[in-house]
C-alpha cells in the first residue's frame, strides 16, 4: 500500500507511531516537509526513539528519503541517526537526501532566537522561519547541492555579508568587521557534514518515482499538521511549510493519485504556543506553569469530572504526557473539535482516520465541538481568522472507564467490537461528522497495542 500520513489538528498526534507501523509493509518512507522543529516519538521493543529529521521508517530498517522541502539541519540528522543505533535498531536501508533541500545554518538559528517575530509567534527557535525566508528570497539560500559543492565557503561568505546588519542586531556578531570570521566558523562547522552527507545526496523526484514505477511501496511522512500549514492553517501561528497531503505531492514531485491518504487524529486536540484554540480546556497561562509528571489528587479529579475544565485539561495533559518532544513546552489541551476535523478531511481528501491516544480519555467526561459562534452568528465552517469564535458543543457526552490490560489485549485480538461502548459512540460521531471512516485505533504508544481488526469495516457502516 502507498500512503500519505499527515496530522489532522495542530500537530503532536502520534504520526511517528502510525508511520512506524505502516512502514513494516513499505519499501520506502519519505519525509516531505518541515524541519527539526518537529519530533516524532516511536516506542518499539520497549525502547523509545525521538526523531526530528530522519523519517520514522529508519527504525524498521527501510529505505528513507528526505525531500526537497525539508529544512535540513545536518547536526540533528546525525543525532537522529545515532539515536536509532543506540536504541539497538539496525539501519539497513538506503538513505536519500534531496539535493534541493534547504540547509539550516548557524545564522538562521541565531536570527530565529533573536528575532522579534519568534517571541510573538512562539517558534521553536530552530531557524525554520529564517531558512524559509531565504528559500523564498532565492538568492541567500543554501541547498544540499550547495553544501556538497566546492563553492560552499564562498557561498557562506556572501550570505553572511548580506546578513551582517541583521546578525549585529541580534548580537550574533558584535560588529560588521566580525562577519568574515563568523562566516569562516560556519564553514568550518559545516564542511565536515558535507563530506559525511555526500554519499546520500540525490533527487527524490527521480528516485522515488522510479521506485514506484518498479512496484515498490511507499509512505510519505508529514511533519507538523494540517492546521499549521503555511497556507491552510491558522495564520499567523503556523509553520513555514506545506503540511497537507497536497503538499506531499508538490514537494516530492509525486502523483498523489497513487496514494491513500491517512490522517492521524489524536482523540483530543492539543496546541503548542500561541494562537486561537476554541475548545481549549483551561488557559495557556496556567498550562505554562505545569511541570511534566505532576499528578492530580482524587479531589481534583472529582472536580474535573464535575466540570472544572482547567483541571480536566491538566489531567489530560499529564496522563497524555503532553510536553513537546522537541521543546519540552506544555501543550494546551481541548475537547474534540469536529468542525476542525471536517475541514481537515475536506482539504486533505482524507480516506481514513488513524485515532491515537484515545486511551488517555478513559475515565474523563468529554463533549465535542459541532459548530462555532461569534457575535450571534453560528457556523460549521472552519474560519480563516479563528480569533473570537466560541465553541458550540453537541448534546452528547462521552464517557468510558479505563480498560484493564486484559481488556486491551482482548481488543487488539478481537477487534473493534471489543472496545468500550462509550469509546465507540465517540468514534461513530466523529466518523459521521467528517464523513470519513477509521482504520486503526491506538491504545498505547507501543507499536503492537493498536486495534485494526474490523475497524474500517465497522466504521464504514456508520456512513451507510
In CATH, what number is assigned to the domain containing residue 184? Answer: 1.10.300.10
**Beta strands 390-393 and 352-356, pairing class:** unpaired
Q: What is the pLDDT of residue 118?
A: 46
64 and 144 belong to one structural domain: no
Q: Which residue has the cell 456512513?
A: 463
Helices (H), 115-216: 116-121, 128-137, 144-147, 152-162, 164-169, 179-197, 204-213
98 closest CA partner among 245, 192, 225, 208:
208
Q: In Å, how far are 94, 226, 361 from 230, measured between CA atoms? A: 31, 9, 30
Q: Which residue has the cell 510573538?
A: 120
Last residue of a domain, one of 265, 299, 314: 265
DSSP string, 432-461: HHHT--EEEEE-SSBTT-EE-TTHHHHHHH
Q: What is the pLDDT of residue 115?
A: 67
233 and 183 belong to one structural domain: no
DSSP string, 247-289: HHHHHHT--GGG-EEEEEEESS-EE-SSS--TTBSS-HHHHHT
Residues 203-259 have pLDDT tens digits of 999 999 999 999 999 999 998 899 999 999 999 999 888 999 999 999 999 999 999
Measured over the CA atoms of residue 52, residue 58, residue 62 and residue 65, the dihedral's sign is: positive
Going by the DSSP 8-state scheme, the letter that residue 66 receives in this structure is E
Contact at 8 Å (CB) between 143 and 194? no
Residues 148-170 have pLDDT tens digits of 999 999 999 999 999 999 999 99
Please give the torsion angle defined by the CA atoms of residues 77, 242, 10 and 238, in that order, rounded to the nearest 10 degrees: 100
Q: What is the pLDDT of residue 215?
A: 97
Q: Please check whether residue 33 lies inside any domain of the structure.
A: yes
What CATH number is associated with residue 45?
A: 3.40.440.10
Q: Does the model's pTM come out above 0.85? A: yes
Q: What is the pLDDT of residue 48?
A: 83
Q: What is the pLDDT of residue 351?
A: 98
**Beta strands 377-379 and 369-374, pairing class:** antiparallel
18 and 65 belong to one structural domain: yes
Q: Please check whether residue 52 lies inside any domain of the structure.
A: yes
For the chain, what is the domain count? 3
108 and 75 belong to one structural domain: no
37 and 155 belong to one structural domain: no
Q: Please check whether residue 38 lies inside any domain of the structure.
A: yes
Which residues of the chain have a pLDDT value below 50? 117-118
- Positions annotated as catalytic residues are 12, 40
Contact at 8 Å (CB) between 126 and 73? yes
Q: Please check whether residue 393 lies inside any domain of the structure.
A: no
87 and 146 belong to one structural domain: no
Q: What is the pLDDT of residue 113?
A: 85
Q: Please check whether residue 413 lies inside any domain of the structure.
A: no
Q: In Å, how far are 374, 393, 422, 442 from 371, measured between CA atoms? A: 10, 7, 22, 27
- Residue 147 exposed, middle or buried by CB count within 10 Å (0-12, 13-18, 19+): buried
Laid out side by side, the sheet with 95-98 consists of 201-202, 95-98, 63-66, 28-31, 218-221, 3-7, 260-266, 352-356, 438-442, 450-451
- Three-class secondary structure of residue 122 per DSSP: coil
CA distance 161 to 153: 12
C-alpha cell at 67: 525531500
Contact at 8 Å (CB) between 395 and 367? no
**Beta strands 332-333 and 270-271, pairing class:** antiparallel
CA distance 314 to 114: 31
Domain with 170 in it: 102-197
Q: What is the pLDDT of residue 47?
A: 81
174 and 286 belong to one structural domain: no
User: For the chain, how many helices (H) and strands (E)?
Assistant: 18, 19
CA 122 to chain centre: 16
Q: Please check whether residue 433 lies inside any domain of the structure.
A: no
- Three-class secondary structure of residue 414 per DSSP: helix
Q: What is the pLDDT of residue 116?
A: 55
Q: In Å, how far are 2, 5, 243, 261, 384 from 216, measured between CA atoms? A: 9, 17, 24, 17, 39
Rg (CA), the chain: 22
Average predicted confidence (pLDDT) for the chain = 93
Q: Please check whether residue 438 lies inside any domain of the structure.
A: no
Last residue of a domain, one of 172, 197, 222: 197
- Residue 19 exposed, middle or buried by CB count within 10 Å (0-12, 13-18, 19+): buried
Residues 28-57 have pLDDT tens digits of 999 999 888 777 787 777 788 888 999 988
Q: Please check whether residue 369 lies inside any domain of the structure.
A: no
CA distance 9 to 270: 8
Amino acid at each position: 500500500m502507498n500512503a500519505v500520513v499527515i496530522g489532522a489538528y495542530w500537530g503532536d498526534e502520534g504520526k511517528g507511531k502510525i508511520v512506524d507501523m505502516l512502514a513494516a509493509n513499505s519499501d520506502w518512507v519519505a519525509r516531505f516537509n518541515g524541519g527539526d522543529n518537529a519530533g516524532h516519538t516511536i516506542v518499539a521493543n520497549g525502547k523509545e526513539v525521538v526523531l526530528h529529521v530522519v523519517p520514522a521508517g529508519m527504525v524498521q530498517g527501510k529505505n528513507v528519503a528526505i525531500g526537497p522541502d525539508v529544512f535540513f539541519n545536518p547536526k540533528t540528522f546525525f543525532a537522529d541517526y545515532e539515536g536509532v543505533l543506540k536504541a539497538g535498531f539496525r539501519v539497513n536501508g538506503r538513505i536519500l537526501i534531496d539535493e534541493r533541500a534547504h540547509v539550516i545554518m548557524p545564522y538562521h538559528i541565531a536570527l530565529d532566537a533573536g528575532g522579534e517575530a519568534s517571541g510573538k509567534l512562539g517558534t521553536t527557535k530552530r531557524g525554520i522561519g529564517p531558512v524559509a525566508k531565504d528559500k523564498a528570497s532565492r538568492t541567500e539560500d543554501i541547498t544540499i547541492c550547495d553544501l556538497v559543492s566546492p563553492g560552499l565557503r564562498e557561498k557562506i561568505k556572501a550570505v553572511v555579508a548580506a546578513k551582517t546588519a541583521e546578525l549585529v542586531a541580534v548580537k550574533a556578531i558584535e560588529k560588521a568587521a566580525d562577519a568574515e570570521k563568523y562566516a569562516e566558523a560556519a564553514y568550518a562547522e559545516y564542511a565536515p557534514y558535507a563530506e559525511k552527507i555526500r554519499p546520500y545526496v540525490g533527487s527524490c523526484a527521480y528516485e522515488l518515482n522510479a521506485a514506484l514505477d518498479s512496484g515498490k511501496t511507499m509512505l510519505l511522512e508529514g511533519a507538523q499538521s494540517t492546521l499549521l500549514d503555511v497556507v491552510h492553517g491558522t495564520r499567523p501561528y503556523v509553520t513555514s511549510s506545506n503540511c497537507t497531503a497536497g503538499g506531499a505531492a508538490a514537494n516530492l514531485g509525486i502523483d498523489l493519485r497513487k496514494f491513500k491518504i491517512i490522517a492521524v487524529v489524536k482523540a483530543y486536540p492539543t496546541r503548542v504556543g500561541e494562537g486561537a484554540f476554541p475548545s481549549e480546556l483551561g488557559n495557556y497561562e496556567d498550562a505554562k506553569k505545569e511541570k511534566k509528571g505532576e499528578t492530580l489528587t482524587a479531589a481534583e479529579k472529582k472536580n474535573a469530572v464535575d466540570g472544572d475544565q482547567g483541571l480536566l485539561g491538566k489531567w489530560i495533559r499529564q496522563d497524555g504526557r503532553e510536553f513537546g518532544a522537541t521543546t519540552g513546552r506544555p501543550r494546551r489541551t481541548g475537547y474534540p473539535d469536529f468542525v476542525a476535523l471536517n475541514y481537515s478531511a475536506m482539504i486533505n481528501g482524507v480516506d481514513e482516520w488513524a485515532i491515537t491516544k484515545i486511551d488517555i480519555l478513559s475515565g474523563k467526561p468529554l463533549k465535542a465541538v459541532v459548530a462555532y459562534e461569534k457575535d450571534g452568528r453560528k457556523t460549521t465552517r472552519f474560519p480563516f481568522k479563528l480569533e473570537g469564535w466560541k465553541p458550540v458543543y453537541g448534546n452528547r457526552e462521552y464517557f468510558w472507564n479505563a480498560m484493564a490490560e486484559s481488556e486491551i489485549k482482548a481488543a487488539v485480538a478481537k477487534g473493534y467490537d471489543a472496545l468500550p461502548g462509550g469509546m465507540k459512540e465517540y468514534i461513530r460521531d466523529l466518523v459521521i461528522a467528517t464523513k470519513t471512516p477509521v482504520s486503526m485505533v491506538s491504545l498505547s504508544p507501543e507499536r503492537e497495542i493498536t486495534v485494526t481488526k474490523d475497524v474500517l469495516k465497522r466504521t464504514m457502516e456508520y456512513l451507510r
